[in-house]
Structure 1
Amino acid sequence: MQLERIIALIEERPLTAREICHALEIDISREKEVYEALKKASKVLKRKGKMLLMSPPVCKKCGFEFEKMNPGRCPKCRSEWIEPARFFVEVL
């Protein structure tokens, strides 16, 4: 995965994993690889005095806020209509 390109993208503006796939012109089936790359990016950014942050996924039906990055279904209302997590960089 293209770690430096991912970092550059999320330094510009908040993006979802799917938007990162689109920007890097990689197949959406590799979205899980983006999540793994984001974990690595977090460590790289920390060494640079920056922090990878995530606006959590939210259920569009009931507003439930998730803790994990890529949920499948809302535990509160069982909806699968979920706004995905967005990742961005903040300077410490």
Structure 2
Amino acid sequence: MTLKTQPMLTHLTSDGHLFEVIKDVDGIIALEVAGDLAEGVGQILERFYDAVNDGDSIYTSELQALRVMAEMSGALISSVRLGAERGNSHAQ
């Protein structure tokens, strides 16, 4: 998977979501990104574990970043699931 490094514009969809998986995007790509985000959360938590054991600080902005990453991962998975359910209901 290739990730673009150019600046991205914040885009709110018509229903207020920050991002969405649209019809023309393969759901597998969204699931891969969700997995990458989840792996990133795990890596940051490992850093927190080491920091706390070494007496270092953990900042609230770092915790908020974890929350956003976890929510993004969950939103991607939910979007793919809902799309799959809608696709199956149209096939019947």
TM-score (norm 1): 0.28
- Structure with greater strand share of residues: 1
